[in-house]
A and B are shown apart, each in its own frame.
Chain A
């Protein structure tokens, strides 16, 4: 698989999240040759780590499964995981791309039986649970991982654990001698679907994410609610493992703030409204959600969902961006301090758990992308001088899954236009 044949009629898609998969599939299903490279060991990106989608509260695994079937069925699409773009040169229609492939230490023989994971003793932080839990150093990223092959963490290579994994494998799938490989390919157009990362909540100093265990991010909350998550779907407080029934959601945690992210991250309002329904699902009338907000941005058809949550007696709305969070030293309960805008009342309200609806930051912000890429003031990709680069999904703007998919489809069409031109020149 390391010998991906590519020509200047190939489209390179960088990033294997929902946007990258969509862009790659749309182009491939139009008959174009597509190479999809993903930095981590699996496709799926951040959407695979969500418990449910808004507004229908359906599970992301469903859409992911459909896309993975399309990936498996497509003869025009090649997928490289653990691959990173290190350099791009050339011009529109004819780029030369250098790729670096990190070793997986597991070859195609793997059946994902899990024997190596059982044999290995070392554990590492589990990034698929936002490091809320540990996992074995021989692991399958998550249940929906593609390719369905285990990965050995580089930290156990050369240790007895590495040998244990090899000894446990009955299929000869473990190859401890794998090395970093480099690859040079030609492509005609590049789609950047490099996605987003949550804004570092610790930078919002007054909210104490770095100091108080019961202040978590919305992404971590998503994992807590997920039955595949670290708590088996129970909403437990990190400090004492007690059930959190009185939960506060703080909007614009990092977004719409000149000191943090200038832009509105668009998804967080709906994400918090959705998460209040996780609380209701878990506790019924006994649960309590409080949403602290500047204004709720539930656009177009999402208004219906917002109305539904507004009518929910277990959800309370406080129009205020909290000034700070303190902690009750005895109980470790977070206490939110602020002044509300509807009446200017000063409040200090105790909760079991505070969820910061953190903003979206483009992953490529400050990363090693070609200089010709033009980004906006938040680091989202706008355009590129040579005209052969396109951004898809959250690399281009703060978008929800639905809009990411639309954006990805649009970028696929643009990339097809470029390689079609290259096609004609050749002929």
Chain B
């Protein structure tokens, strides 16, 4: 036994919750996780609740229990539709939606996110599409979504929705020439510089390797 106030560090290390510390430091709004009091209101309020493997309440408890692999490989955070019902109802005002997205982004950054999770693939599609020119090219984005699961599936989907596409064409809501070049924002290089700077700041704040 050490002197009073002195801890047995070796014994303590076994209980050291590194994952909670990691989430607090590296995940957006992760410092809120410790505030969860496990009341269950978020889990019960989520409109997709029955369809996820892990509710926010469970994810927060898993983080505190140090279940790093299970949390980061979970597809639950990717199921969040950002309806904010949980944020509005949470008695402790945890920014649950933001934490879910933060966890998803962090899992993706580490390469631990489920590879074929549709939301993850769609998010990548969207990000690449909009950062390329500084503007979302809706036609390319839509076609990208159709063909996400292969050529045959893409043509099938396009055929199913052909009337809507035709209607949009006639109403001048869809310009087929966007497929070839597409309009860009005025200062594309400026947008790219801005995104690069933002990535640098994030890496510095959160202790990630330089992008």
List the interface of chain A (C-beta within 8 A of B): 206, 252, 256-260, 294, 320-324, 337-341, 344, 346
Determine if B93 and A321 form an interchain contact, defined as CB atoms under 8 angstroms apart: no
* B97 CB–A CB distance under 8 Å: no
List B62-117 residues whose CB lies under 8 Å from chain A.
88-93
Determine if B55 and A339 form an interchain contact, defined as CB atoms under 8 angstroms apart: yes
Q: How far is the CA of A144 from the CA of B55 in the complex (A)?
A: 52
Determine if B91 and A323 form an interchain contact, defined as CB atoms under 8 angstroms apart: no
Determine if B91 and A338 form an interchain contact, defined as CB atoms under 8 angstroms apart: no
Residues of B within 8 A of A206 (CB): 45, 89
Q: How far is the CA of A258 from the CA of B92 in the complex (A)?
A: 6
* B50 CB–A CB distance under 8 Å: yes
Residues of B within 8 A of A344 (CB): 40, 43, 55, 57-58
Determine if B93 and A323 form an interchain contact, defined as CB atoms under 8 angstroms apart: no
Determine if A323 and B92 form an interchain contact, defined as CB atoms under 8 angstroms apart: no
Interface of A is mostly: loop
Across the interface, name the chain A residue whose C-beta is closest to B46: A323
Chain B contact patch, size range: 10 to 19
Q: How far is the CA of A42 from the CA of B58 in the complex (A)?
A: 51
Are A294 and B39 CB-contacts (below 8 A) given A252-B91, A321-B91, A323-B44? yes
* B38 CB–A CB distance under 8 Å: yes
* B41 CB–A CB distance under 8 Å: yes
Determine if A323 and B41 form an interchain contact, defined as CB atoms under 8 angstroms apart: yes
Residues of B within 8 A of A321 (CB): 39-41, 91
Determine if A259 and B93 form an interchain contact, defined as CB atoms under 8 angstroms apart: yes
Residues of A within 8 A of B58 (CB): 344
Determine if A324 and B45 form an interchain contact, defined as CB atoms under 8 angstroms apart: yes
| Contact of B38 (CB < 8 Å), options: A256, A322, A341 | A341
Q: How far is the CA of A322 from the CA of B89 in the complex (A)?
A: 11
Residues of A within 8 A of B41 (CB): 321-323, 338
Q: How far is the CA of A118 from the CA of B39 in the complex (A)?
A: 51
* B169 CB–A CB distance under 8 Å: no
Are A323 and B50 CB-contacts (below 8 A) given A340-B40, A341-B57? no
Determine if A320 and B40 form an interchain contact, defined as CB atoms under 8 angstroms apart: yes
Between A and B, 30 residue pairs with Cβ closer than 8 Å are A206-B45, A206-B89, A252-B39, A258-B93, A259-B88, A259-B93, A320-B44, A321-B39, A321-B40, A321-B41, A321-B91, A322-B44, A323-B41, A323-B45, A323-B89, A324-B44, A338-B41, A338-B43, A339-B44, A339-B49, A339-B55, A339-B57, A340-B40, A341-B38, A344-B43, A344-B55, A344-B57, A346-B43, A346-B49, A346-B50
Residues of A within 8 A of B89 (CB): 206, 259, 323
* B37 CB–A CB distance under 8 Å: yes
Q: Closest approach, in angstroms, between the C-beta of B206 and any C-beta of chain A? A: 27
Residues of A within 8 A of B37 (CB): 256, 294
Q: Closest approach, in angstroms, between the C-beta of A272 and any C-beta of chain B? A: 16
| Contact of B43 (CB < 8 Å), options: A256, A258, A339 | A339
Residues of A within 8 A of B93 (CB): 258-259
Q: Closest approach, in angstroms, between the C-beta of B58 and any C-beta of chain A? A: 5
Q: How far is the CA of A321 from the CA of B40 in the complex (A)?
A: 6
Q: How far is the CA of A320 from the CA of B37 in the complex (A)?
A: 11
- For B37, B41, B45, the residue with the greatest tally of chain A CB atoms inside 10 Å of its CB is B41
Q: How far is the CA of A206 from the CA of B45 in the complex (A)?
A: 9
Q: Closest approach, in angstroms, between the C-beta of A346 and any C-beta of chain B? A: 6
List B29-64 residues whose CB lies under 8 Å from chain A.
37-41, 43-45, 49-50, 55, 57-58
Q: Closest approach, in angstroms, between the C-beta of B57 and any C-beta of chain A? A: 7
Residues of A within 8 A of B55 (CB): 339, 344
| Contact of B91 (CB < 8 Å), options: A258, A322, A337 | A258
Q: Closest approach, in angstroms, between the C-beta of B207 and any C-beta of chain A? A: 30
Q: How far is the CA of A256 from the CA of B35 in the complex (A)?
A: 13
Q: Closest approach, in angstroms, between the C-beta of A367 and any C-beta of chain B? A: 26
Q: How far is the CA of A420 from the CA of B23 in the complex (A)?
A: 59
- For A257, A320, A322, A323, the residue with the greatest tally of chain B CB atoms inside 10 Å of its CB is A323
Across the interface, name the chain B residue whose C-beta is closest to A321: B39
| Contact of B44 (CB < 8 Å), options: A258, A259, A338 | A338
Residues of B within 8 A of A337 (CB): 44
Residues of A within 8 A of B40 (CB): 320-321, 323, 338-341, 344
Determine if B43 and A259 form an interchain contact, defined as CB atoms under 8 angstroms apart: no
Determine if A256 and B45 form an interchain contact, defined as CB atoms under 8 angstroms apart: no
Are A320 and B39 CB-contacts (below 8 A) given A339-B44, A339-B57? yes
Residues of B within 8 A of A256 (CB): 37, 91
Determine if B39 and A341 form an interchain contact, defined as CB atoms under 8 angstroms apart: yes
Across the interface, name the chain A residue whose C-beta is closest to B86: A323
Q: Closest approach, in angstroms, between the C-beta of B182 and any C-beta of chain A? A: 45
Residues of B within 8 A of A258 (CB): 90-93
- For B43, B88, B92, the residue with the greatest tally of chain A CB atoms inside 10 Å of its CB is B43
Q: How far is the CA of A259 from the CA of B39 in the complex (A)?
A: 15
Q: Closest approach, in angstroms, between the C-beta of A180 and any C-beta of chain B? A: 43
Q: How far is the CA of A346 from the CA of B49 in the complex (A)?
A: 9
Q: How far is the CA of A256 from the CA of B39 in the complex (A)?
A: 11
Residues of B within 8 A of A257 (CB): 91
